[in-house]
Amino acid sequence: MENELEPPLSDDDREDAVASAPAAPGVVAALVVHAPSEALGECLDSLKAQVYPNLQTLVLVTGSAPEDLALVNGLVEARSMAVHVRHVGSNPGFGATANSVARLVQGDGGLFLFLHDDVALEPDAVRLMVEELYRSNAGLVGPKFVEWDDVRRLQMVGFDADRFGELDSAVEEHEIDQEQHDAVRDVFVLPSACLLVRADLFREMGGFEESIEFHGEDLDFCWRAHLMGARVVVAPAARVRHRGGLRDRRDDLSHVAMDARHRLSTVASLTGAARSLVVIPTLIVVTLVEAIVSLVTGHVRRASTEVRALVAVPRDIVSILRRRRRVALLRRIPDREIADLQVRGSVRWRRVVRGRRRSSGFAVGRGASDNSGSREPIAVVAWFVLWAALLVGSRDLIGGGVASIADMLPWSDSPRDLAHSYMSGWWDKDLGATTAQPTGNILLALGGALTLGHPALAQTMVIIGLVAAGWLGAWRLCAVASVPRARLIGTIAYAAVPLPYAAVAAGRLQALIAYAVLPWALHLMRLFGGLGLPRGAEESSRAVGDVVEHPDTATRVRVVSSLALLLSVTAAFAPSVMLIVLVCAILWILATLMAGGSSRAAGLGIASVSVSMVAAVVVNLPWMTRYLASDGWQAFIGSRTGSDLGVWQVLRFGIGPSALGGLIILLFVPALVAPFVSRGWRFVWAVRAAVLIAGSTLLAVLGQRDSFPVDLPEPGVLLAPAAVGVALGVSMVWVVFGADVRGARFGLRQPVALVSLACIPVGLVPVLAVAGDGRWQQPEATFSGQMTELLATDERGGFRVLIIGDERLVPGGSHELGVGLRYSVVESGRLGADDLWTPTPDDVDRYLEPLIEAVASGATDRVGRLMAPLGVRYVVIPVVDRVVSTSRDPLPVPDGLVDSFGAQLDFRRKFSPASMIVFENQQAIPSVSILTAAGSEAASSGGNEALAVVDMSGAKPVSSLARPWKSVSESVPSGTLHLGVPLDERWSAVLDGRAIDLGASFGSVMSATVDEPGVLELSHHRPFSRILWVLAQSMLWVILVLGWRQPKNLRRRRSSRTPAVVVDDSPIIAMETRP
């Protein structure tokens, strides 16, 4: 492979060439240098070797680092070159820096040659471009660009452009130079990496557009040259090597976003007024379609970039109007003639139709290459089918909302109230307490706020979005397959796994979160460990081992911050998923040792997971201390799903009614066959897939056995790694068939591989059938919804509902009462998403659980009176949830439970639907009320004995504890004020402006004596420590987001937008024509 275009001429040959040259106009080569690289030396050598007789060189050094200027001066002095070096006191971008030439150079009779600092010219390149400029009567001339390391391969030979500013190159990626593009031709755009322009034209145009820092300055400059009637010509006889790689050198820039934004603003600025009426609306439509295509093909960031670029255009309206006024003074050619110079139609659409990726020249010149292969027509069609299937399968959920079932409980109607509650420190769950609250509550509030107070919409978007997020994560992870279609097949296989649809049907939120999070976590773990994507010869290599591409420190910080942010959100809602991510990291190491992969990369991967888990725990403090309580492990792993699953049910992901049948087993065949037919790096990934499947299914089976010593998370969470393993294995089989099987000697590999490939389409069939339901078989009528309709309309003051029964039927967070029996306490009979968690069980263990045990043992028949101070008005025993327990096949009600409550004198069985059994406590006291005289006497005497013999009915409700962060006032008569929460010194009561004491009452709650009628104000005082915790927690979340987005680079970009300030801008070069 060659590293130079031609050997430089000797001094004698150069002198002969100069002596024989004709009169030559002056050329000033303006070389813009930023953060000098090794390529700068070769660039200077190529300028010194030029045979053109009238060439002067001006080096403009950007940035504020003094060592950069010293390095450039050292390179110049080492070559004994007569070069003018000037330092620019900032880095405003290439165009603004290059404009300094107009001040530093006198005369309009010559030419400017603008250069990047990573080009190397052939010795005759300048001469050939000057000759072509005069021969073609052109205003701008550019050379033919070839690759830096291999001059046989083309990079750029000018660009065409459509009316939307999208560039199209005639050069294919890594195309061999066989002189097929050596004809001089007019083009629409020339790259600014090496651009020759007439000095008078440059001055009249006003130079480059200074509002464009990077990416797009060449499109704007050449477009304006066309408007002035100047020809833009490429002279392929002049060859230039170009390293490119701006994205690597300036990783602080958002290259794709800048390219899109500058392209749109240029189109808006330079298109004629009449044609703008058609072009601008069409551009908006095309950009939105492009964003949709990017989204459905798994490129969420690119879709976001397109939309943000479109939104940024109105913000740039002042700059656009200024540019239009300036161009109007220069315009000499009608806009219709400019349209004739542009490509008709859409370059992007033509690229998709041709199934062609952007050329390497475009990638280098613009910094936006796309190597994913997702723009192939088959990929676009496949993604549209996937999204259509998701929308069709979710159409009733979108129209009617998500059913309130199991863990998918409705979000709070008021995000503001939820946020206030979170910051107040008071949580009304169970019996209420001043305690840490789940971080998930504030995240739910933020989600509701983002949908403008429509929590049902936010919940539906999250549920459907989690399924989509899993697909996109699989698309990212399956990129290791290197073959675009294999990547696509792996993603489709992941979408065909019934786990997410069964989770939606059964209301298993944690399983759905595991499905969405796990592929992303493994993808980020891969990136941090440095496991790269096979390219070129590596794709078919049979050398055992991983392809390792260790990222730089900044990339690793971004990756680990992304993983920490992902696990932090996950820990807020499904902490057990963090445990599964760690298990996958361990399985990853095991598979690496078995297959001979990179142990260092695997070790770095598990290190990233460990660091991210610690970060997730820290940002979720103080709530994470909840899992240190006596029942912390049960709270950590979540509620049990229901019926025990056998091996067959585990293998078919049968966690809910949406399980798709035995055909899904066929997807395991290619995943498990892959290790036996693969070689090289494909073998390592195939083993990883097989180990994930084996380890996941083994844990899921063991977790269903009562004899297993440790309680494990629900099967849906445990099976998520198996789903990822299926996707990876299927994608590997596709690659293996082309790389290791098809061209190999015939043997057992061929038929086995063919059979495994044949299993893939059959395994995909059931997902289409289940999509026809429109709800993924989620029931419309649910236990939670019916209970809310039945009980939440009770207007007799605040109350609580005790839900007790089979652990598989009690929704949301609950407390263990015995083997297979759990209970939860719900405020006002309305189950919500904040009921997914439970506080530490100190108060319920002390006050409520002994009363439940008294019911079970029959120790008293007056438990209703004993529960009255706690506000327990209803006891609900779930019978049918239409998932685990159906009307046709209901689970048995725990023995003696109904009879025990039926034997209580204070409980009356209430008419209810068949899905539940409801008892009403006729002695219940409203949460905030004025007690009767008998009640007041019992409150002061305290003890269960007094409660058991006193009729507690008749208390008058006076207020509500629904908003403890906001003081409430109400006129009350004299008597005893009852406050149905455990003793808490942060509650205060004020009667007509004077404080009254709140003391212990009934041995469990609080009361105060109201000696005369008046206006009572009840309030809860937020602890100062809560304010500190919220501030600290907010800062930690912000740090994670900053690490993910790395906005320090944004500050660098903003500082770089200051105008170019040359230390000495007096003219230092005079152009002249030499004889």
Give the pLDDT confidence score for residue 248 in this predicted structure.
66
Secondary structure of residue 957 in the 3-state scheme = strand
- Least confident piece of the model among 135-139, 357-361, 728-732, 1016-1020: 357-361
Per-residue model confidence as pLDDT tens digits over 991-1012: 888 889 888 888 889 989 988 8
Rounded CA-CA distance 184/205 in Å is: 25
- Residue 104: which of 88, 120, 126 has the closest Cα? 88
β partners of residue 920: 874, 908
Answer yes or no: is pLDDT of 300 > 80: no
Closest by alpha carbon to 33, among 3, 71, 77, 78?
A: 71
Mapping DSSP onto H, E and C, the string for 658-681 reads CCCCHHHHHHHHHHHHHHHHCCHH
Return the H-helix or E-strand segment holding 617: helix 599-619
Show the tokens assigned to 239: 């060859």
Average pLDDT over residues 607-632: 93
What average pLDDT does the chain have? 83
Split at pLDDT 50, 70, 90, the class of 5 is: very low
- Confidence class of residue 81 from pLDDT cuts 50, 70 and 90? confident
Task: Give the separation between CA 1013 and CA 1020, rounded to whole angstroms.
Answer: 22
Angle at 973 between CA 970 and CA 976, to 5 degrees: 100
Determine the residue type at 999. G
pLDDT exceeding 70 applies to what percent of the chain? 85
Q: Is the pLDDT of residue 1049 over 70?
A: no
pLDDT at 241 over 50: yes
DSSP helix/strand/coil, 1014: strand
Contacts of 1034 (CB under 8 A, 6+ apart): none
* Span between the terminal Cα atoms of the chain, in Å: 40
E strands present in 934-1032: 956-957, 968-972, 975-979, 987-991, 994-996, 999-1001, 1005-1010, 1014-1020
- What local confidence, expressed as pLDDT, does residue 785 receive? 87
Q: Which of 623-627, 659-663, 818-822, 938-942 is modeled with the greatest confidence?
A: 623-627
At residue 17 the predicted structure's pLDDT band, cuts being 50, 70 and 90, is: very low
User: Is residue 124's pLDDT more than 50?
Assistant: yes
What distances in angstroms separate CA 706 from CA 633, 741, 931, one per listed residue? 16, 45, 49
Amino acid identity, position 931: L
Residue 1058: the pLDDT is 45
Is a pLDDT exceeding 90 seen at residue 338? Answer: no
Higher-confidence residue of 218 and 1055: namely 218
Cis before 622 (ω within 30): yes
Categorize the per-residue pLDDT at 174 as very low, low, confident or very high, splitting at 50, 70 and 90.
Answer: confident
Give me the mean pLDDT over the 436-452 stretch. 90
Type of residue at 504 = V
Residue among 608, 580, 439 at smallest CA distance from 513: 580
Supply the DSSP string of 150-180, one letter for each residue: -TTBEEES-BEEBTT--EE-SPPTT-B-SST
CA atoms of 348 and 302, how far apart (whole Å): 14
pLDDT band of residue 311 (cuts 50, 70, 90) is confident
pLDDT score at 1073: 61
Beta carbons of 126 and 52 less than 8 angstroms apart: yes
Q: Tell me: pLDDT of 975 over 80.
A: yes
Burial of 710 (C-beta count, 10 Å sphere; 0-12/13-18/19+): exposed
> pLDDT at position 1001, please?
87
How confident is residue 310, by pLDDT bands cut at 50, 70 and 90?
A: confident
Backbone angles phi and psi of 271, in degrees to 5: -75, 140
C-alpha closest to that of 444 among 426, 429, 462? 462
In 107-228, at which residue ranges do the beta strands (DSSP E only) sit?
Answer: 111-116, 119-121, 140-147, 154-156, 160-161, 167-168, 185-186, 194-198
Task: Report the 10 Å Cβ neighbour count for 116.
Answer: 23
- Taking 70 as the threshold, does the pLDDT of residue 10 lie above it? no
What would the pLDDT profile of 495-504 be if each residue is shown by its tens digit? Answer: 988 899 989 9
- Which pLDDT belongs to residue 372? 45
C-alpha 163, offset from chain centre? 32
Query: What digits encode the pLDDT tens for the residues 481-531?
Result: 878 888 888 998 999 888 999 899 989 999 999 999 999 999 999 999 888
Q: What's the CA gap between 677 and 263, in Å, rounded?
A: 48
Q: How confident is the model at residue 1052 (pLDDT cuts 50, 70, 90)?
A: very low
Which H helix or E strand runs over 735?
Answer: helix 720-736
Q: What is the 3-state secondary structure (H, E, C) of 257-306?
A: HHHHHHHHHHHHHHCCHHHHHHHHHHHHHHHHHHHHHHHHCCCHHHHHHH
Confidence of residue 720 (pLDDT cuts 50, 70, 90): very high
Provide the 3-class DSSP secondary structure of residue 1008: strand
Give the model confidence (pLDDT) of 130-160 as tens digits: 999 999 899 999 999 998 888 888 888 989 8
> What pLDDT shows up at residue 763?
60
What number is the average pLDDT over the span 233-237?
93
What global pTM score does this model have? 0.79
pLDDT in tens, 29-46: 999 888 787 788 889 989
Instruction: Identify the CA nearest to 729 among candidates 684, 669, 686.
Output: 686
Q: One-letter amino acid identity for 42?
A: E
**From residue 302, how far is each of 120, 306, 307, 309, 558 by CA, in Å?**
33, 6, 9, 10, 18
Give the pairing type, strands 27-33 and 55-61.
parallel
The pLDDT-based confidence of 740 (bands split at 50, 70, 90) is low
Q: What is the mean pLDDT of residues 393-401?
A: 89
Give the mean model confidence (pLDDT) for residues 102-116: 87
- Nearest Cα neighbor of 717 from 580, 909, 915 is 580
Per-residue pLDDT tens for 344-387? 877 777 766 555 444 433 433 343 333 444 456 677 778 888 88
- pLDDT, one tens digit per residue, over 535-588 is 654 555 555 566 777 787 888 888 999 999 999 999 999 999 999 999 999 999
Residue 762: per-residue pLDDT = 64
- 777: its two tokens: 């078989």
Residue owning tokens 């990291």: 585
Q: Band of the pLDDT at 753, cuts 50, 70, 90?
A: low
Q: How much of the chain is in helix, strand and coil states, percent to nearest 5? A: 50, 15, 35
